[in-house]
Amino acid sequence: MIEGLSHLTFIVRDLDKMEEILTKVLDARKIYDSGDQSFSLSQERFFDISGIWVAIMEGEALSEKTYNHVAFKISPDDYETRLKCVRALGLEIKEGRSRVTGEGRSLYFYDHDKHLFELHTGTRAERLERYAKG
């Protein structure tokens, strides 16, 4: 039986650059750093983002950008603050898909290794309710 999400892992070229994104944009708290040791495939760091275990490991960047992404929930009041953080780090912002009223706002951005992140103000229930209206 699936009990829930265990963790997310991102392979990145530069652990420090990704740590900056996680801590400054996503309010991550670093909980582990392997340093020069490697218990897994490479050096790694663990973070906590609102109870979600996020791991980053040193390795090669993705070869291309896709729409595959991970989305984090933010409050509507926090949207502009997060947008400023993303811009301050010089990250590429991806234009979001067209939306219908009541679906929430989304901020999409790529990290330095072509991973796509979304900061979304809505909830699943709100989206389903809006879609049910046609």
**Residue 1: inside a domain:** no
Distance CA 83, CA 22 (A): 14
Name the DSSP class of 90. T
Distance CA 9, CA 53 (A): 9
Could you list the pLDDT tens digit for every one of the 134 residues in the chain? 989 899 999 999 999 999 999 999 999 999 999 988 878 889 999 999 999 999 999 999 999 999 999 999 999 999 999 999 999 999 999 987 766 676 788 999 999 999 999 999 988 888 888 778 77
| Domains: count for the chain | 1
**Residue 103: inside a domain:** yes
**Residue 60: inside a domain:** yes
**Residue 71: inside a domain:** yes
Backbone phi and psi for residue 54, each to the nearest 5 degrees, phi listed first: -115, 125
**Residue 83: inside a domain:** yes
Among residues 3, 19, 44, 126, the one annotated as catalytic is 44
> Residues, the chain, total?
134
How many alpha carbons fall within 13 Å on the CB side of residue 34? 16
Query: In terms of pTM, does the model score above 0.85?
Result: yes
**Residue 91: inside a domain:** yes
Domain of 63, in residue numbers: 7-132
**Residue 118: inside a domain:** yes
**Active site (annotated) includes residue 44:** yes
**Residue 2: inside a domain:** no
CATH number at residue 56: 3.10.180.10
